[in-house]
Every structure is written in C-alpha cells, then in structure tokens.
Chain A
C-alpha cells in the first residue's frame, strides 16, 4: 500500500505543480461563468409566440375574444375545442396544449402544467376583460364590477418549484464538470502511461512494483488532481451563484454535491482504467489520440445527449434510459439527481450496474495493461493484449 501511495503522491504532485493545472482551472472557470451569464440572459420561458389553448364547451364564448386579444398582441393562438374540462387538462398534461380553459367564460379556470407563460397569460387575461365588456350589462356599475371580476384563475398541475432553475443549473454544471474531469484527467492517465513507455522508465519501475500497483497509483493520483480541480471549480461556482443571489434553500445542494462526488469517483475509476489500458497499447505519444478516440466519442455522446436532455426534457424516458447505461451513468445520473424526483430504485440500479461494469473494466483493463505496458515498438493488437503472456 505504501508503494501505491508513493506512486499516487508522485502523480499528484507532478500534475498539480504543472502550469497546465492552473491554466486549465482558470480557463474552465471562465467558460463556466461565461456560459451561466449567457444562459441567464435568455428568457427561460422559451416563449415562441404561439400558444395552443384548449377550450371546454361551457367556456366556448371566450374564443372570439381570445383571437381578438391575440391579434392585438401579435401572437398566434390556436384554439382547440375539447369535449370537457378533463379532456383539456389531458391535453395540457401531454404537452399538446399550453393551457386549458373551463368554467365561466369571464372567470375561467386555467389549467396549466407548471405555470402560465407570460404571453399566453396576457392573451387570456385580456380576453376575459374583453368578454366582460362585451356582455353589455345595463348597469354601468355592474359592468365595471363584471370587468373587475373578469380574471382567469390559474391552476397548475405541477406548481413551479422556486428552486427548479437552480436544480437544472446544478445538474448541468455537475454533468459538465464530470465530463470535463473524466475527459481531461482520463486522457492524462493515458498520457502518463505512454510517457512511461516512451521514456522506458516503466521497466525500471516495474522491476520493483507490480503493474497493478503502478496502474492504481496513477489512477488515484490523477483522480485526486481531478477531484481537487472539481472542488475548486464547484466552490467558485457556488460562490458566484451565492453572490448573484441564485442560491435558494431546499434545492438539495448538499445532496447534489455528494452525488457528484460519488459519481465522479466511480466514473473516473471507470474511464481512467479504460484510458490506461488503451495507453499501454502504444509506445509513442503521437499514437495516443488514435487509441483514445473511440472511447472519447462514447463519452462525448453521453455528455451531449445527457446535457441537452437535462436542459430540454428533464423527465423524458430517453434521459432515464441514458442514465441507466453504465458507461453513461456517471455523466448523466448526477444531473438527474440534481433535478430531483429520481426514484431510489433507479439510483440504486444505476449504481450497482456501474459498479459492476467498473469492476469488469478494472479486471480487464488491469490485464491488458500488465500485458502491454512493457511491449515497446508497434501498437499492441487487441488479441495480443488479451491472450498473450
């Protein structure tokens, strides 16, 4: 164990002292801050200018006013007549309608999924007022009262969580950091392996330590560097969010941090082992990229798909499936956990699957590494790496 720790310490110090570590931390921090500013400058509502409104039969009288209000505001409103209020709510639940109107036309009940978007909201509000005015009540006072009372009553099926934005932010932030750390430090493990092979120092080292010790020390050392960077970036990110007043209690920040940490450790072990085994197949730094590319693409696909789904469809089946496939779990699951609402069995299943997959990778990767790391010259073929002695 002392041997492994010595190797870990060397790898850690060699990287942390390097300028690359400081520079990459600063650069990534800039990117993150820039990205958050960019995202926050966009209206999160994603108002497209088109609203689809389901209207129940008893509320049907509002339809002409809706069209009038929409024309007035330059919005496009599609009115879907539905059989009853329940049918309207069903359309809202499936996302086929932005709002469902039911009840008295001047004081309709407005069913929405999370919240009434500002565009749709103002169309509905104006429409109820118009309708009240058109009722031509004989008594002006009664007319005024009717206009004053004309107001939509908004009922959200799933009321907006005030911390929702922060949760999505944390999820996306976590996914990005994990992706970045795994790609960067995983690739550094491969580079380190190739550097030892290229400089031939590996023979000197392996004359006194076992290959698994060297591999483990390397993975731990670089994993610790990645972790340090993760801590620095997360701390900085939270500090920025805190001063900007974005932190809301109850968003599960602590839980998110713990889950990012756990998934980082698991994900890094998984990918670092794969990268180390791949690195051991080649003897020259120039060849490293070609063996790493296929795996980098797998990581990239998981990250891009996961990141976009987290932002656009956080409750989709696609994201759930993606988060349960082991090579992608560490990239996607922490973001889902940050979003909240992940069933415990899914987290447990994802953890077990990933842990089992990582164990398999460790076994196979250790085998490939031990067999290939002393072979210099041409790239070691898969067959040789797996079956040679």
Chain B
C-alpha cells in the first residue's frame, strides 16, 4: 500500500502542498485530478524522491519510503524525457539496469515491452527519430521495463492516440490486477471515471474530495439526491408538497427535484403520474466533470 501522509511543500512564499493525505491499496487504480498547479505533479515528485517534502511522510507497505524501495516504482514524469540520441532498446535496458535489474533480465524485459507496445521494430533507432506517439510508447515502456511493484504516472494519457490510450488503459488495469497500487493523474476525466477505482480531487495543494467514483457521484455527504422528471402536463410547483422534497426548479421543460436523504422517490413518481403522462424519471448523478467543477469551483467562492 502506498500512503501519502500529511505531506506539505512550499516554494518560497507559494504553498504548493498542504497536508496532502491519501493512500492507494494494492490492486487499486487511483485517479488524481485537479486543475493545473493544484499540486499533483509536486505530490508525485515527492513520492519519487525527486523533490524533498517540507513535512509529512510517504510510506510504502507501512514503512517510510527510501531509495531502494523507490526503485520498485514505475514513474512517468509529466515532463516527458528520454535520451534523444540513445537507441530505444539500449535506453530501455539502461533504465532497467539502473532500477536494479541484471543485464539479462533487462534485455528480456526491454524486448518484451517493446513488443507489447508495438515498437519492437524501432528498438535499434535513436529516440529522436521516432514520431511523438512512438516516443510516448517508449516513455511508457521506460516506466514499466523494470517490472515495478508500484506505478506513479503523471498525465500518462496526454498526447496518446486512441489506440495507445487503449493499450495504456489495458496495461494499467493489468498491473493493477497483478496487485500493484497504481496512481495516475489526468485531465481526461471521462477516462478517469471509466478506469479508476477511486479518485482524489486536489485543489490548492490539498485533497478536497476522495472516494469511489460512484460514491462521489451518488451525492454529497448529506445524502441528498437529484431527480429529473419530465411530466409535460404538470403545473409549476407540483412536487413541492411531496414529502422529502427540499427544492424544485424547472430546466428545459423538466422539473429538477432535490430529495432529502432517505426520502421515498416512489412518492415523487406517484405525484408526477398524478399530473399526467411521465416521459422521463431519472436520478441525476453528476459526472466526474461536474464533481470536479464543483470541487474546484469553491476556489472562486472562497
């Protein structure tokens, strides 16, 4: 299990991270979302030891992380980078060996990943001669070539074509199923929503929301839910008398009703049917994008 516990970091007067806390279980895919500059990259760099935290601790399997354990992490930095003049295969072998693999294992692993990612025929070419998409695949291979026990990927999907996105998703899922904790950040919230077991939304260096995607979508902590009803013959305010309804408004000819926690939505349905035909009756679950906007939008209000 990867635990980030109370990590803080300042750059001069700028507070980059404040009491950042979350954990990723083995076999869990954790999505890390937030606006630009919210602190995602800083968090990941601290996990990798590329940056030193001012306070707090990163633990792996219950023990503070150190250089030897960091070698077991597969990392994809936000700023992509490889040795431009080094051949693909040689570069992957080198990185695998730097992470502690023996020469033979490094060679086999570099071979395996270049094949898996469809760049085996480019293994002898210099990285700078590859297309950007293929360079991204090499970058992913570089994160995976030492068969890491933990994956920390900063924006792994940015710049990938749809095929590579599928390959990347499959690889992440596979590592996860093999029992590795996987953390990745992304701005592609639909992908995060689809892939991740849990997400954390970060704002101003602090995690403002975290949990399973469906939990987050199910509503806020009070348990209130939103129901959209399309009953064209209903008069305004038809739902206000229904027990448990705290608010209702009309949007695009539909009534948007806010229900208290534990309120009986069947009572609302019966009240709607009493007004005439009902064409639509749905619980509206906010998308991750909406949750994200809401969480991040508080900045403006604050």
Q: Residue B119 at the A interface, CB < 8 A?
A: no
User: Contacts of B110 on A, CB cut-off 8 Å?
Assistant: none
Whether the pair A208, B70 counts as a contact (CB closer than 8 A) is yes
User: Contacts of B55 on A, CB cut-off 8 Å?
Assistant: none
Whether the pair B82, A201 counts as a contact (CB closer than 8 A) is yes
A14-B79 in contact given A3-B98, A6-B98, A207-B70 (Cβ < 8 Å): no
Q: Which residue from chain B places its CB closest to the CB of A209 in the assembled complex? A: B98
Whether the pair A204, B142 counts as a contact (CB closer than 8 A) is yes
Q: How far is the CB of B155 from chain A (nearest CB, A)?
A: 13
Contact bitstring A319-338, B, C-beta under 8 A = 1, else 0: 00000000000000000000
User: Contacts of A376 on B, CB cut-off 8 Å?
Assistant: 79
Q: How far is the CB of B73 from chain A (nearest CB, A)?
A: 7
Cα(A376)–Cα(B94), bound, Å: 24
Q: Residue B56 at the A interface, CB < 8 A?
A: no
Whether the pair A207, B52 counts as a contact (CB closer than 8 A) is no
Q: How far is the CB of B193 from chain A (nearest CB, A)?
A: 28
Q: Residue B80 at the A interface, CB < 8 A?
A: yes
Whether the pair B73, A207 counts as a contact (CB closer than 8 A) is yes
Whether the pair A199, B98 counts as a contact (CB closer than 8 A) is no
Q: How far is the CB of A221 from chain B (nearest CB, A)?
A: 12
Whether the pair B94, A199 counts as a contact (CB closer than 8 A) is no
Q: How far is the CB of A201 from chain B (nearest CB, A)?
A: 4
A204-B67 in contact given A199-B82, A199-B83 (Cβ < 8 Å): no
CB < 8 Å neighbour of A204 from B52, B82, B86:
B82
User: Contacts of B79 on A, CB cut-off 8 Å?
Assistant: 200, 203, 376
Cα(A203)–Cα(B75), bound, Å: 10
Q: Which residue from chain A places its CB closest to the CB of B74 in the assembled complex? A: A207
User: Contacts of B85 on A, CB cut-off 8 Å?
Assistant: 14
Contact bitstring B71-103, A, C-beta under 8 A = 1, else 0: 101010101111111100000001101110000
Q: How far is the CB of A177 from chain B (nearest CB, A)?
A: 27
Q: How far is the CB of A248 from chain B (nearest CB, A)?
A: 46
CB < 8 Å neighbour of A208 from B81, B83, B99:
B99
User: Contacts of A10 on B, CB cut-off 8 Å?
Assistant: 86, 94
Q: Residue B17 at the A interface, CB < 8 A?
A: no
Instruction: Tell me the chain A residues, 189-208 only, with Cβ under 8 Å from chain B.
Output: 195-196, 199-208
Whether the pair A208, B94 counts as a contact (CB closer than 8 A) is no
Cα(A3)–Cα(B80), bound, Å: 22
CB < 8 Å neighbour of A199 from B48, B73, B84:
B84
Cα(A7)–Cα(B95), bound, Å: 10
Whether the pair A200, B80 counts as a contact (CB closer than 8 A) is yes
User: Contacts of A209 on B, CB cut-off 8 Å?
Assistant: 98
Cα(A208)–Cα(B85), bound, Å: 21
Whether the pair A206, B84 counts as a contact (CB closer than 8 A) is no
Whether the pair A208, B86 counts as a contact (CB closer than 8 A) is no
Total count of chain B residues near the partner, CB < 8 A: 26
Q: How far is the CB of A388 from chain B (nearest CB, A)?
A: 9
Total count of chain A residues near the partner, CB < 8 A: 22
User: Contacts of B82 on A, CB cut-off 8 Å?
Assistant: 199, 201, 204
User: Contacts of A204 on B, CB cut-off 8 Å?
Assistant: 75, 77, 81-82, 95, 142
User: Contacts of B45 on A, CB cut-off 8 Å?
Assistant: 203
Q: Residue A389 at the B interface, CB < 8 A?
A: yes
User: Contacts of B67 on A, CB cut-off 8 Å?
Assistant: 210
Q: Residue B49 at the A interface, CB < 8 A?
A: yes
Whether the pair A203, B94 counts as a contact (CB closer than 8 A) is no
Cα(A244)–Cα(B79), bound, Å: 57
Q: Which residue from chain B places its CB closest to the CB of A206 in the assembled complex? A: B50
Q: Which residue from chain A places its CB closest to the CB of B77 in the assembled complex? A: A203
Contact bitstring B43-72, A, C-beta under 8 A = 1, else 0: 001001111100000000000000100110
Whether the pair B97, A203 counts as a contact (CB closer than 8 A) is no
Q: Residue A300 at the B interface, CB < 8 A?
A: no
Instruction: Tell me the chain A residues, 1-31 only, with Cβ under 8 Å from chain B.
Output: 3, 6-7, 10, 14
Q: Residue A238 at the B interface, CB < 8 A?
A: no
User: Contacts of B81 on A, CB cut-off 8 Å?
Assistant: 196, 199-204
Whether the pair A207, B94 counts as a contact (CB closer than 8 A) is no
Cα(A210)–Cα(B71), bound, Å: 11
User: Contacts of A6 on B, CB cut-off 8 Å?
Assistant: 94, 97-98
User: Contacts of A202 on B, CB cut-off 8 Å?
Assistant: 81
User: Contacts of A227 on B, CB cut-off 8 Å?
Assistant: none
- Measured CB to CB, the residues of A under 8 A from B are 3, 6-7, 10, 14, 195-196, 199-210, 374, 376, 389
| Sample of 18 further A-B pairs with CB below 8 A, known A200-B80, A203-B45 | A7-B98, A10-B86, A14-B83, A195-B84, A199-B83, A200-B77, A200-B81, A201-B81, A201-B82, A201-B83, A202-B81, A203-B77, A204-B75, A205-B95, A207-B48, A207-B50, A208-B95, A376-B79
Can you report 22 residue pairs joining A to B where beta carbons are below 8 Å apart? A3-B98, A6-B97, A10-B86, A10-B94, A14-B85, A199-B81, A199-B83, A199-B84, A200-B79, A200-B81, A201-B81, A202-B81, A204-B77, A204-B82, A205-B95, A207-B70, A207-B73, A208-B71, A208-B99, A210-B67, A374-B51, A389-B52
